Structure 1
Amino acid sequence: MPSDWRRALAIVAHPDDLEYGTAAAIATWVDEGREVVYTLATRGEAGIDGLHPDKAAPLREREQRASAAAVGVTAVEFLDHRDGVIEYGVALRRDLAAAIRRHRPELVITLNHRDTWDGTMWNTPDHRAVGRAAIDAAADAGNRWIFPELTEQGLEPWDGVRWTAVAASPHPTHAVAVEEGVERAVASLLEHRTYIEALTDEDPEAYCRAFMDEATTLASARFGGRRAVSFEVFTR
């Protein structure tokens, strides 16, 4: 995994998207003195069946901020696209390009943009739209002629994104050793307690620990037996 960078921007669709594995890598990077910012396209308001979106949105935002803090991330922003019906297109690309111009990362992190998880489970429209738009926005952010209105708003072009790392991709190319970050990643996922309790009848901590154990051992056989988080990395 590339290591000669100082600032990363993680762009995902929902609260909890980063906590299902990626947070272990983020905790490790923060320990190394790197800066990571979160940009979420939605507030996850449609994610809990028994909770109206008006009540779910602020609750899930609070859980996400606490979750980010558990791995040392203090900057979390929400773009207010509607949960469940995000559309890939120019408007989404513009919003993500604006976020990249604001935060000026060298590394962009996003979630699986491909149609499936491991070829068997269909991916959600929100994940596909945001992941694909994040990859495109990494280039859009550096071109002053694609969204000139962003420059007029004071967001100067940023052509400094060198890599886009796609978490949970079915085609991983790189991995990060995360042994030191696993416990904080478990704590980070557990901060989404309301969502987890609606998702499963299992004890929330047992659920989080079992998921993190599985997520961080999937790449171990290809990574010297170490616990790791894998990414599909695109260069620019």
Structure 2
Amino acid sequence: MTESSTGRLRPMPEDWRRALAVVAHPDDLEYGCAAAVAAWTDAGREVVYVLATRGEAGIDTLDPAVCGPLREREQRASAAAVGVSRVEFLDHRDGVIEYGTALRRDIAAAVRRHRPELVITLNHRDTWGGVAWNTPDHVAVGRATLDAAADAGNRWIFPDLAEQGLEPWNGVRWVAVAGSATPTHAVEAGPGLERAVRSLLEHRTYIEALTDEDPETYAREFLTSTATAVGERYGGKPAVAFELFGR
């Protein structure tokens, strides 16, 4: 194993006020990021969620026309549990998101609209640590988010955005990738862990379709074990890990 996958994790930067989290589906942020988000909003920082889809293809027993609105409601309640009041959906089709200029443009527009210093996304690599295959949606959205953080600051890329009143924003200082197999930084999870459990539990319909285990037991054990494992590289304190790219 490399030093990047075994060494001590550094604290995430704290000299910022606004963050934008961009992921593919409802629940993506709740499987690991929510405790960090709770800590940030408790400290008075603003966090906005942008989701590429409404997760309408995520539950086999529910027709997408029913599933999409239900999962949107669950996501809004989930965000509220950790202090996030603004949740936006880009309305790409769940399961068949395509990496390309259309996706980059939509994310760049969100960056220009919200003007964050920190952008957060999910693992954009082909696998989860070489153990499990990642989904095409996660790969496409994660990669497009990394690219769009730069696109947003270049007035000659997607010039129609400026015509719509979205002026270039070159103020993104970092992109933080959650779920990376090679994390570099972390946020202490303890203060926000209980709210993170409540946040994941708001996705009850999805969890009940995923497992026969009691939803609260499932959510608590998953988040606690993940945070505890990260904490072994963060001074023994439960934590949320990120791979941080500076700009």
Check whether TM > 0.5.
Answer: yes
Number of the residue aligned with 1:182: 193
- 2:228 and 2:120 mapped to 1: Cα distance? 20
CA distances 1:4-31 after superposition (whole Å, capped 9, x unpaired): 0000000000000000010000000001
Number of the residue aligned with 2:9: none
SS in 2 for 1:150: helix
Q: Work out which of the residue numbers 137, 140, 161 in structure 2 matches 1:150.
A: 161
Number of the residue aligned with 1:166: 177
Q: CA deviation at 1:222?
A: 1.1
Q: CA RMSD in A?
A: 0.5
- 1:178 and 1:209 mapped to 2: Cα distance? 13
Moved more, 128-137 or 208-217: 208-217
- Correspondence list, 1:97-136, <5 A: 97-136=108-147
- 1:206 and 1:39 mapped to 2: Cα distance? 28
Number of the residue aligned with 2:14: 3
- Correspondence list, 1:17-166, <5 A: 17-166=28-177
Give the residue type in structure 2 aligned to 1:181: G
Residues 217 and 226 of structure 1 are in contact (CA less than 8 Å); yes or no, is this contact kept in structure 2? yes
Q: CA deviation at 1:120?
A: 1.1
Number of the residue aligned with 1:218: 229
Number of the residue aligned with 1:15: 26
What percent identity do the matched residue pairs reach? Answer: 76
- 1:33 and 1:19 mapped to 2: Cα distance? 20
Residues 20 and 215 of structure 1 are in contact (CA less than 8 Å); yes or no, is this contact kept in structure 2? no
SS in 1 for 2:54: coil
- 2:191 and 2:242 mapped to 1: Cα distance? 18
Give the residue type in structure 1 aligned to 2:17: R
Number of the residue aligned with 2:3: none
- 1:109 and 1:122 mapped to 2: Cα distance? 21
Q: CA deviation at 1:74?
A: 0.2
Give the residue type in structure 1 aligned to 2:211: T
SS in 1 for 2:20: strand
Q: CA deviation at 1:89?
A: 0.3
Mark the runs of 5 or more structure 1 residues left unpaired by the alignment.
none
TM-score, with normalisation over the residues of structure 2?
A: 0.95
Give the residue type in structure 1 aligned to 2:169: W
CA distances 1:33-92 after superposition (whole Å, capped 9, x unpaired): 100000000000000000000000000000000000000100000000000000000000
What is the total number of aligned residue pairs between the two structures? 236
Q: CA deviation at 1:221?
A: 1.3
Q: CA deviation at 1:215?
A: 1.7
Mark the runs of 5 or more structure 2 residues left unpaired by the alignment.
1-11
CA distances 1:132-182 after superposition (whole Å, capped 9, x unpaired): 000000000000001100000110000000000000101101011110000
- 1:168 and 1:226 mapped to 2: Cα distance? 18
- Runs of at least 4 residues off by over 6 Å: none
SS in 2 for 1:48: coil
SS in 1 for 2:121: strand
Give the residue type in structure 2 aligned to 1:213: T
